[in-house]
Structure 1
Amino acid sequence: MGEIEHFVNPEDKSHPNFSSVASKELVLFGREDQLGTGKTKTISVGDAVSTGIVNNETLAYFMARTQLFMEKIGMDPARLRFRQHLTTEMAHYACDCWDLEIKSSYGWIECVGHADRACYDLDVHGKATKTPMVATLKLDEAKEIEIAKLKFDRKSLGKTFKADQRVVSGALESLAENWADFEPIASALETDGKATVDGFEITQGMVTWKKTTKKVHEIKFTPSVIEPSFGMGRILYSLLEHCFYQRDADEQRCVMRFKPAVAPQKCAVLPLSSSDELNAVIDEIAADLLESDLATRVDKSSTTLGRKYARADEVGVPFAITVDFETLKDGTVTLRERDSTVQIRLPKSDVTRLIFDFVHGRDTWEEVTKKYPVVEVKTED
């Protein structure tokens, strides 16, 4: 499990980088659609927030970033959707919750939860530790806010609450810092003659108040928590399913379509034959790749080159370098891309830089085939 705890002002849940993902389209399965048509809808993140489908920018921002991450590691976008929790599923304190679900052979599986948990976590922690879990927002200019000015009947508080007298008065004073927070207490005392604060029953005679204003240069608040929670095992399993396919529907030719960035081994280095001269070049190229932290698979076995390619494909190696007799003449090698099986010929001195650029997203196979000659290859055995 991996989690992000992102704290925001409950009065302002905008995100500074929201514009960078606002146009990203997501497949959403909102609660109204679940109870109605049963169909999903594809909508941009910006529109989802502006129409109120997703509660706020920060929650939507992390949903979009999760989608982008899944696409980057190789998930099939057609098998991704975000399902909103029904009101009967959500915790009583939550503002909004969306699960990224990934479709696998087991159906739609929840893999990443995105929850706006409001201020609940920090409120509970603060009460348990008797430590205020508050953040401070510095204001550029002083601001006038409405507060409640309290006057306690200490004798009545002490008689009723004894050692807890300060806890009760402290809780009331904390609420009085913002009239909007104190107003429900004031209304209950005026209407019912009593109110409950942090589990303590306050009666009308224990406190009097006056609504007033004061100028502040900072505002203290208990942050809301936006929590994306990743199920690593489910994500990894789903990635394995999404990357698996059989070449030409041949059960004997299985391939794992791992992106270069996530493939455990980035490149295979293969000799055309097992001669000492070719193996020496193999060792040289493999050492150079490893020097650049590029995990490498070397296969010097006596099996056919086609079988060596198939072995590499089965474990998801995205590229394969082949050293042949042309290499001994002019220092060039062939480089094969796993999914297209297209090969190019290039100087062996270019290989490490090229593989490094592929892994880090600085170059693409499509662009590289325009720079180097494509090799005509017979059907792989």
Structure 2
Amino acid sequence: MNVKALLLCLLPLSASAQGFAGLGGDADGFSIPQPDPQFSFPADHGAHPDYRIEWWYVTANLTGPDGTPYGLQWTLFRSALAPQTQEGWDDPQLWMGHAAVTTPDAHYVAERLARGGIGQAGVTATPFSAWIDDWLFDGIDSGTLRATGADFAYDMQLTAQGPLVAQGIDGYSVKSASGQASYYYSQPFYEVAGTLTLPDGPVAVTGTAWLDREWSSQPLADNQTGWDWFSLNFDDGARMMGFRLRQTDGENYTSATWIAPDGTPTPYADGALTATPLEESQVGPRTVPTTWRVELPAQGVDVTVAAVNTQAWMDTSVPYWEGPVTIDGTRSGVGYLEMTGYE
């Protein structure tokens, strides 16, 4: 799921205090995801300008030579003022990039904004390349992941060790009881190696990464205020994606996908996943849950998910929390947690 829809901050919408107003609004002439999608690759790795919202979203759990854990994020968001493209500054496609590095003691963040049609940002499907300024992600199967900020930089090589995974029902991911949905697939099987450049110098790292690809035009219902999203990478080779969408009536809408070590997905509809906050942290002026109990009884999952750094706040145009986590309980491992709507 992820904070992908945050790119709507680029649109002339009147945002609520949480920054999510408009996500449940009219699709305004844009295409709407329909059940039984038929993905076509490599074309669907590229942009879908007839949909309002889209993202290419990579998170990575990394380890340095001394065993220190690190987290890495690289995201390119596309948002459209109209369902079309054209050359020059009048192009209605808008782009935003987020990059971050998380250590146990620090969280470094950078943001880039761009207008479509002038070459500053974009995505090509063949050969695959996603970029904004000098930030680059250029390989679905294998390639480079690169970004720079005021206090950090990274240059990684990613190699997929498993297949692409359709989220939801064959890639149709339902987000609410009233039927809002997106097209959604992932590559959760990357191996990663490269260099983080931090204020104290370069660090050679290795680890795993997860790509999420999603596009939609109306991703939330009008009674939903934010989400808590988990990508969990278990030590036995299985993976799990799960999210809960918080509603104004105090209820939650949930979804999960169990991913076997060979990449076979098993989707779970609303109610199968339970995510319960266990501990909260003061993050600036806000209180954010940073330790969770996550349960998927159908797969014997009952785990505690804890932030590596509770202060992993993305102080960007629309702020949110995102950072690496550890997993303990019926299974162990590492993963990523994203939480929106806590501003």
Per the normalisation by structure 2, the TM-score is 0.21
Higher relative contact order (CA 8 A, sep 6+): 2
Larger helix fraction of residues: 1
Structure with larger Rg? 1
